[in-house]
Amino acid sequence: MKTRSTYWQILPYLRPQKQTIGKALACTVVFTIFWPIIAWLVGETAKFIGKGDLQGFAQIAALSAIIFLIRGTAQYGQDTLMAKAALTIALEIRKKVYSHLQSLNLGYFETAKTGDLSYRLTEDIDRIGEVVNKFFHQFIPCVLQLIAVLGYMIYLNWQLTLGALIIAPLMAILIGWFGEKLLSYSRQSQNRISDLSALLTEVFSGIRLIKAFVAEDYEIARFAEEAEQNRRAKYLSERIKALQFVVVGFLEAMSVILLFFLGGWQISQGNLTGTEFISYIAGVALLIDPIAITTANYGDFKQGEASSDRIFELLAIEPTVVEKPGAIELPHVTGKVEYRNINFAYPSQPALDNGGKQPQPPLDKGGQGGVPILQNMSLLALPGEMIALVGASGAGKTTLVNLLPRFYDPQAGQILIDGIDIQDVTLNTLRRQIGIVPQETILFSGTIAQNIAFGQSYYELKDVQKAAEIANAHQFISEFPDGYQTWVGERGVNLSGGQKQRIAIARAVLLAPRILILDEATSALDSESEGLVQEALERLMRDRTVFIIAHRLATVRRADRILVLEKGRIVESGTHEELLEKGARYAGYYAQQFS
Ligand SMILES: Nc1ncnc2c1ncn2[C@@H]1O[C@H](COP(=O)(O)OP(=O)(O)OP(=O)(O)O)[C@@H](O)[C@H]1O
């Protein structure tokens, strides 16, 4: 059961805006004070017109002009100040959610749907901004207007007002019921949109595969099904909204009829004059808008609560890889790496709930992982040593190297670099000393130079160029008309697999880490490209401690040590010659590849 609305969690974001909100509310108060005055003006105008007193009417008209000018100025202040506060609050929440996501560990993103995350970061946060805006900019002014106008009506004739308000509790109950319905349908509808957005991200990033497998029709059907679910959920919430307007409108009309009846009766009893009744009716007319707006607001707030739930659910997920308090900076290392009795299992991951009702419990802190992946793993890599990891798919090679930059933490054991436990150092200083060249190079939107200097806020172009030269990338980059300023990534220039890899190598060269993790590409490159990549890798690896997930025999052969992994254990270790001589697993792989 949900106990407290997640809206309360917006409060800390409101605090820094309290001055702006305060000024906006001051404008609102000025604006509101004029409502009963307007009702009074209507009565007075009717009186002067009824008497044919044009001079009196002219005075009232001049007064009205002044009143509307002041009121307009207050309204402008209220609108702009509130928009400013709401947009800033949305911006702060967006920045907070984004930096929170960046702090989550890699494992989280392996299960999260990227489309869903981007929906939360865009649409859901916008909706929270709208709720804040509407709350201060519409809801509070309307409530104040209701209070001011009702006060004036009670002052004119309390019996009449009591009669008009008889229907109010019934309305409140109905509005509450509609609100709950709307909240539930909005949650469904928002989750559906997230699903749709997740599906689109998946489809467009895998479009090549879809075409290769002629899966277009299948994907169209899948999209149509998701889009239909989305339409259905949205339609249900629109139907509830429409019904709400009809029911509330009907009750409003009934209360007006009742009012006229009671008004006539009060006039006949001599308790009310005709002019007062006109002012009174003007007051009633002034109530209609705020009632309609607050009713609609209530629906909006309930819909917005689903977005708020989804945002604070994200913020409640705790990163599992965190720095210790008082973590030290890892000094410049020589590159000695030691794994001591490491046990590791991937933590069981709760994905974000699509029902959206409850914030998810934080990810487990690594204690109760699932199937053991690495078992009692120990190894020592000396500075400058090149260690090749080989083994069947799923043996745990990637997992082993992923523990070094602390993408995950092991459940037991220690990893030391130059004798310092990596748990004791800051993540930045640890990761900056480990270069990674992944199997598949990701290029971000930006220039080639920015991509090579990725993650560095300041860089010299000459250093980038030098890195590119070492990585055998300078020549092809220079052939582009814009050279290093050529735009890559989305909607940028297309680079071949080999060119991308050389950019990734240049990245690592520029970083100049003492420790290097290479996941050798398995995709076939043309022989020229392969030669250039290989040469670039050789230069990159020189004098560094290298862990290489090796697929090419050439690499394996020249490694200082080859570790053969099987089911999370090192089952063989030695040089190429030693392992061949042993005639066991490695020799088997070798024979298999050559045959
Ligand atoms: N994020 C993850 N969550 C849960 N299990 C995972 C995750 N990543 C890998 N695994 C599992 O861990 C085991 C080891 O995977 P790992 O990627 O380390 O193997 P590998 O030897 O590098 O394989 P390959 O050569 O195919 O890349 C596999 O059974 C895999 O299914």
Question: Is the pTM above the cut of 0.80?
Answer: no
What pairs with residue 415 in β-bridges?
339
> H/E/C letters for each residue in 170-235?
HHHHHHHHHHHHHHHHHHHHHHHHHHHHHHHHHHHHCHHHHHHCCCHHHHHHHHHHHHHHHHHHHH
Atom of ligand 1 nearest to the CA of 396: 18
Could you tell me how far CA 323 lies from the centroid of its own chain? 23
In three-state secondary structure terms, 454 is coil
Helix H or strand E encompassing 309: helix 274-315
Residue with CA at minimum distance from ligand 1 atom 2: 346
Find the angle CA(334)-CA(340)-CA(343) to the nearest 5 degrees.
130
Distance CA 109, CA 103 (A): 11
With cut-offs at 50, 70 and 90, classify the pLDDT of residue 346.
confident
Q: Which domains does the chain have, with CATH numbers?
A: 10-315 (1.20.1560.10), 439-512 (3.40.50.300)
ipTM of the complex: 0.96
CB burial readout 38-66, b (16+ within 10 A) else e = bbbbbbbbbbbeeeeeeeebeebeeebee
Cα four-point dihedral sign 82, 86, 92, 96: positive
* The pLDDT of residue 490: 65
Structure tokens at 468: 């590119």
pLDDT above 90: residue 420: yes
Structure tokens at 494: 């297309």
Distance CA 30, CA 43 (A): 21
pLDDT above 80: residue 410: yes
**Spatial contact of 384 and 335, defined as CB atoms under 8 Å apart:** yes
Q: Which of 110, 373, 375, 569 to mutate to test ligand 1, by most ligand atoms within 8 A of the CB atom?
A: 373
**Spatial contact of 525 and 533, defined as CB atoms under 8 Å apart:** yes
What pairs with residue 435 in β-bridges?
516
Distance CA 526, CA 577 (A): 29
Distance CA 125, CA 103 (A): 19
Compute CA distances 77 → 35, 71, 91, 148, 308, whole Å. 17, 10, 21, 20, 27
With cut-offs at 50, 70 and 90, classify the pLDDT of residue 357.
very low
* The pLDDT of residue 355: 41
Q: What distance in angstroms lies between residue 346's CA and the mean position of ligand 1's atoms? A: 9
pLDDT above 70: residue 411: yes
Tens digits of residue pLDDT in 516-558? 999 876 665 666 777 888 888 888 888 899 999 987 777 788 8
Find the angle CA(396)-CA(399)-CA(405) to the nearest 5 degrees.
155
Q: Which of 346, 548, 551 to mutate to test ligand 1, by most ligand atoms within 8 A of the CB atom?
A: 346
Instruction: Identify residue 373 by its one-letter amino acid code.
Output: I
Q: Which of 343, 389, 399 to mutate to test ligand 1, by most ligand atoms within 8 A of the CB atom?
A: 399
Structure tokens at 88: 């800033």
Residue with CA at minimum distance from ligand 1 atom 30: 394
pLDDT above 80: residue 307: yes
**How much is the mean pLDDT over the chain?**
85
Residue with CA at minimum distance from ligand 1 atom 7: 346
Residue with CA at minimum distance from ligand 1 atom 18: 396
